[in-house]
Amino acid sequence: MSKVTAFPVSSGPFALVVDDTFRLGRNLARYLQKRGYAARAVTSVAAANQVITERKPDLVVVDLKLPDASGIDLCCMLQRRFPDLPLIAMSAGVEDCDLSTLRQCGVRRILTKPFPLSDFGDALAELAAARPASACATTTPTAAPSSKTVALAARQLHQARQPRAGGPRIVLYSHDTMGLGHMRRNILLARSLVESRLKANVLLVSGAREIGRFELPAGIDCLVLPSYGKSDAGDYRPRHLDMETRELVNLRAQAINASVAAYRPDLMIVDNVPRGALHELDPVLTTLNARGSTRCVLGLRDILDAPDIVHREWAERRNLAAVQWHYDQVWVYGDPRVYDLRSAYGFGADFAQKTRFTGYLDARRRAAPRSGAVSAEVAEPAETVPEGPYNLCLVGGGQDGFALARVFAEADQPAGECGLLITGPFMQAAEARVLHDIAAHRPSLRILGFVQEPTRLLAGARRVVAMGGYNTVNEVLAFRRPTLIVPRVRPRLEQLVRARRLAELGHVHMLHPDDLEPAAIGRWLSDADADIRRAAQPIALNGLERMTDYVEDLLIQTAEVRHASA
């Protein structure tokens, strides 16, 4: 078992020692502590990954012979992520070819075991003397390492791999604890990649069994994890299984790690949560980082939450350190002219350098049925579409949409028009019964439960009343329907921030939930001015096309690695 030695926290720089001889690692860490470092010693690459996920080191001392991976590969991984990080290597003997490799991987000093602590002290002094020049170099963006350097980090894996048929393999992970948004977004991304020039094969990793209700074309399959539920306070708990939350986290983490490792993807795209729900992705991110052959991307929606909340949560979860260590790029599925999270959240230069904005994801791509589906539910019945003009109410998955749904149900529809309300699959049965009871006395109101593809109804709607989730907003922006957004304000302010910003730009109308009442909905539905488009400029909706370009760029880099290591 890997051991980790921690010492009292110092205000000085952070040093990590990686050596499978526990006593030596401990002694070096103690020596570093006396020199003003906050030092930790670990005995494996896996343990080093865990530590670096929590905190970026300022110095790393690496033994070249480690029990679970090559110390040379670890040095190359570190150089690829942190080009200016000082590295010291240790070994009983180093071949000439390894010396060249270590230099290319950024190793500043190589110590031959056994060595006196005075030699270690001299190495530290040399690094300290060279530090000002290195620090100056960090003020400008550092060029990406050559394909040869990256190839060295993945050499052992690539030499062992056999050629395989088919297009690039991509994993799309989503924890799916609340609503349908994560599922619909990842399915849309998967379809786009499969149908693009890349002809990708996509494995969806989903945390909700409801994903089985959706149409999945050939080239896409799904690993469904046991589900988390979410309390009103935002805490995770098992949704269906009678077990402790920590047991479910362990179960899901092992399933993800084993499945993704066996699938051997070229690219893994993680939705929204850098370390996964409750850090369940730490093991697989460590595995992929150690192998070096899979590119990792963090995909973020346009707005996460209010800035102060995001700062607190990301600091508590060590998300920025995880992004620095595990991820090649960050893709934001939005338009910076609407909301630039780089400046809004102030995540720093490293995060900004990795960030790419794709544009919003055009939901019109979802509206057309596809051939080759593997789901039996491939289209909504024709009778769900009203014959005359209708106004559509969307409440996402429905688990927190009852307040809006009830007010819409009780609102008066304009003369000659019908109200169409989609409750979603997660609305509680008692709440759905209340809505059906209201509809029984209002012939102008129709209630639908789960609709696999609401965009087919959205396309024909006269007006839309909806909550402010990312996917719903994508849909109304794509179809340019006159829309009134009633955002959720608990437990997150994400929807409120999004609705206010889009209303400021003239793309939607907004009603605060504190002002929600049937008369307010009825007035907006009847207001002729609600049809006027006030937006000064269109929103970028080319996210799917641009994402394909980004994927292709990363896969070209991976192909260069494989060619160089062949």
Percent helix, strand and coil across the chain, each to the nearest 5: 45, 20, 40
Q: What is the pLDDT of residue 162?
A: 46
Q: What is the DSSP string of 277-343?
A: GGGTTHHHHHHHHHH--SEEEEEEES--S-HHHHHHHHHHTTHHHHHHHH-SEEEEES-TTT--HHH
Q: What is the pLDDT of residue 534?
A: 72
Q: Kindly tell me if the per-residue pLDDT of 151 is higher than 50.
A: no
| Mean pLDDT computed over every residue of the chain | 87
Q: Residues 224-252: what's their mean pLDDT?
A: 91
CATH 3.40.50.720 fits 161-362+544-565, yes or no: no
The domain locations on the chain are 4-153, 161-362+544-565, 382-531
What is the torsional sign of CA 203, 209, 214, 218? positive
User: How far is residue 466's CA from residue 235's CA, in Å, rounded to a whole number?
Assistant: 25
Sheet strand arrangement including 87-91:
4-6, 38-42, 14-18, 59-63, 87-91, 107-112
Encode pLDDT of 175-202 as tens digits: 876 677 788 899 999 999 999 999 999 9
**First-to-last C-alpha distance (Å) of the chain:** 33
Q: What is the pLDDT of residue 369?
A: 60
Regarding predicted confidence, which is higher, 197 or 212? 197
User: How far is residue 90's CA from residue 116's CA, in Å, rounded to a whole number?
Assistant: 12
Tell me the CATH class for 382-531: alpha beta
Q: What is the pLDDT of residue 133?
A: 43
Answering whether pTM is above 0.75, one says: yes
Domain 382-531 in the same topology as domain 4-153: yes
Q: Kindly tell me if the per-residue pLDDT of 282 is higher than 50.
A: yes
In this prediction, residue 147 has a pLDDT band, given cuts at 50, 70 and 90, of very low
Q: Kindly tell me if the per-residue pLDDT of 251 is higher than 60.
A: yes
Q: What is the pLDDT of residue 10?
A: 52
Q: Residues 394-398: what's their mean pLDDT?
A: 92
In this prediction, residue 159 has a pLDDT band, given cuts at 50, 70 and 90, of very low
Q: What is the pLDDT of residue 379?
A: 43
Architecture of domain 4-153 in CATH? 3-Layer(aba) Sandwich (3.40)
SS (H, E, C) 39-66: EEEECCHHHHHHHHHHCCCCEEEEECEC
Select from 108, 545, 518, 49 the least CA-distant residue to 321.
Answer: 49
User: How far is residue 11's CA from residue 23's CA, in Å, rounded to a whole number?
Assistant: 25
Half-sphere exposure for 14 (CA within 13 Å, toward CB): 9
Q: Residues 242-267: what's their mean pLDDT?
A: 96
Spatial contact of 401 and 423, defined as CB atoms under 8 Å apart: yes
In this prediction, residue 135 has a pLDDT band, given cuts at 50, 70 and 90, of very low
Radius of gyration of the chain (CA): 27
Residue 503's CB is within 10 A of a number of other CB atoms, namely 18
Encode pLDDT of 479-529 as tens digits: 999 999 999 999 899 999 999 999 999 999 999 999 999 999 999 999 988
Regarding predicted confidence, which is higher, 134 or 227? 227
Q: What is the pLDDT of residue 3?
A: 58
Cα 29–chain centre separation: 35
- The pLDDT > 90 percentage for the chain reads 68
In this prediction, residue 132 has a pLDDT band, given cuts at 50, 70 and 90, of low
What H or E segment, with its residue span, contains residue 27?
helix 22-34
